[in-house]
């Protein structure tokens, strides 16, 4: 029965991937930054919003995250690891500033949208969709609104940030080629991918957020630190990864999303735009005083998904590992601090939630 269902879904999966690839081709032809991902996302979302059933490749996004992770991890050398350790205090300070700003925003969102403060807080924190929804459900918020708000945040950041960094002055780009140049004559890429799949399955079972991406980074990074020679991820594989990730994001744009919280959702999106503006200004300030690449900092501080921002960094030849490290620090801090922040900024649930 399962096999029959899979075969019956195959035409829809192939059709969705074909449409996503076509959208990616058009966006790339138009010279949009991160064109393959954004084009695939837009084309698939348009199809899903037309109430047409969209089927994506099972585990396609997870495998794509692993490929992106390996490509990022390959850049890790002892020198880069030392640089990341030096930047750790800066990462903590910048990330805490972003989280604090999001918490303050949540109070305004709660008042304007007429929702309880816990729902507003878990919707505003730039964390994972599933993690924030689970916390909202556990602490008497509205997990449905939180899921919608978090997903739309990632969608908006994915669409806006590549366009923002594209218009920044070109001289502030730091070439990724100066970090590491993998030797193509050592370990075959397939070996790293197989190891990453095993690690990814373990991380998925442990429910580690972005586990497939971190599995790829861990495997690629371990090979880099151990000076293991291995083939670099080909450009075509990154293109395929962008299409798969874009299609998976676009397929979640159901019409029901737009009906959830008609007042809440536009305000939440406006808050995301303001948060993006804050992170850009913060990145500019840090770049000015610390002498780091502004593009790297804008991507590193952006309140979006780590996979999507890593792809933007890779396509624009900036320090992917710095971007991934900032996002990892933010994710860990939000997971650790979410409940204390709730007690600090949203200690009282709304009247409709007290007796749930």
What mean pLDDT comes out for the span 164-170? 76
pLDDT at position 103: 94
Q: Could you report the per-residue pLDDT of 22-40, keeping only the tens digit for each?
A: 999 998 898 887 788 888 8
Q: Which residues contact 38 (CB under 8 A, 6 or more apart)?
A: 24, 27, 32, 158, 159, 162, 246
pLDDT above 80: residue 308: yes
Q: Could you report the per-residue pLDDT of 313-324, keeping only the tens digit for each?
A: 877 777 788 888
> What is the pTM (predicted TM-score) of this model?
0.79
- Sign for the pseudo-dihedral over CA of 317, 77, 322, 335: positive
pLDDT at position 127: 83
What mean pLDDT comes out for the span 301-311? 86
Q: Domain residue spans in the chain? A: 2-345
**What confidence category does residue 353 fall into, taking pLDDT thresholds of 50, 70 and 90?**
very low
CA distances from 140 to 63, 117, 264, 298, 355 (A): 34, 10, 17, 34, 9
Lowest mean pLDDT among 70-79, 102-111, 169-178, 198-207: 169-178
Rg (the chain; Cα; Å):
20
Q: Which residues contact 196 (CB under 8 A, 6 or more apart)?
A: 66, 69, 70, 215, 216, 218, 219, 220
346 near 138, Cβ under 8 Å? no
CA-based angle 11:15:17, to the nearest 5? 120
Q: Could you report the per-residue pLDDT of 277-301, keeping only the tens digit for each?
A: 999 999 999 998 888 888 889 999 9
pLDDT at position 260: 61
Assess if CATH 1.10.10 describes domain 2-345. Answer: no
pLDDT above 80: residue 229: no
> DSSP label at 171?
G
pLDDT at position 349: 53
pLDDT at position 169: 67
Phi-psi region of 140 (alpha: psi -120 to 50; beta: other; left: phi over 0): left
């Amino acid at each position: 029965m399962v096999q029959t269902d899979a075969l019956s879904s195959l035409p829809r999966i192939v059709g969705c991937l074909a449409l996503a690839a076509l959208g990616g081709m058009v966006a790339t032809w138009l010279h949009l930054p991160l064109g393959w991902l954004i084009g695939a996302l837009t084309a698939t979302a348009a199809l899903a919003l037309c109430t047409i059933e969209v089927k994506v490749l099972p585990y396609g996004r997870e495998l794509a995250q692993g490929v992106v992770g390996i490509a990022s991890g390959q850049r890790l050398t002892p020198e880069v690891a030392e640089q990341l350790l030096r930047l750790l205090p800066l990462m903590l300070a910048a990330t805490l500033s972003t989280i604090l700003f999001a918490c303050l925003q949540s109070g305004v969102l709660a008042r304007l949208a007429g929702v309880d403060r816990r729902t507003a807080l878990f919707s505003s924190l730039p964390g994972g969709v599933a993690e924030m929804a689970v916390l909202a459900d556990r602490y008497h918020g509205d997990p449905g609104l939180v899921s919608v708000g978090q997903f739309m945040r990632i969608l908006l950041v994915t669409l806006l940030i590549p366009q923002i960094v594209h218009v920044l002055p070109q001289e502030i780009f730091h070439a990724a080629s100066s970090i590491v140049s993998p030797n193509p004559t050592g370990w075959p890429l397939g070996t790293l991918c197989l190891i990453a799949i095993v690690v990814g399955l373990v991380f998925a079972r442990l429910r580690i957020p972005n586990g497939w991406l971190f599995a790829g980074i861990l495997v690629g990074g371990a090979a880099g630190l151990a000076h293991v020679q291995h083939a670099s991820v080909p450009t075509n594989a990154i293109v395929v990864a962008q299409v798969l990730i874009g299609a998976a994001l676009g397929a979640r744009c159901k019409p029901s999303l737009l009906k959830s919280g008609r007042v809440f959702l536009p305000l939440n999106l406006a808050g995301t735009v303001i948060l993006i503006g804050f992170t850009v200004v913060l990145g500019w300030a840090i770049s000015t005083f610390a002498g780091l690449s502004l593009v790297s900092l804008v991507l590193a501080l952006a309140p979006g998904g780590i996979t999507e921002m890593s792809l933007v960094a890779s396509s624009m030849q900036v320090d992917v590992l710095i971007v991934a490290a900032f996002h990892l620090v933010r994710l860990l801090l939000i997971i650790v601090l979410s409940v204390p922040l709730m007690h600090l900024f949203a200690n009282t649930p709304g009247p409709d939630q007290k007796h749930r």
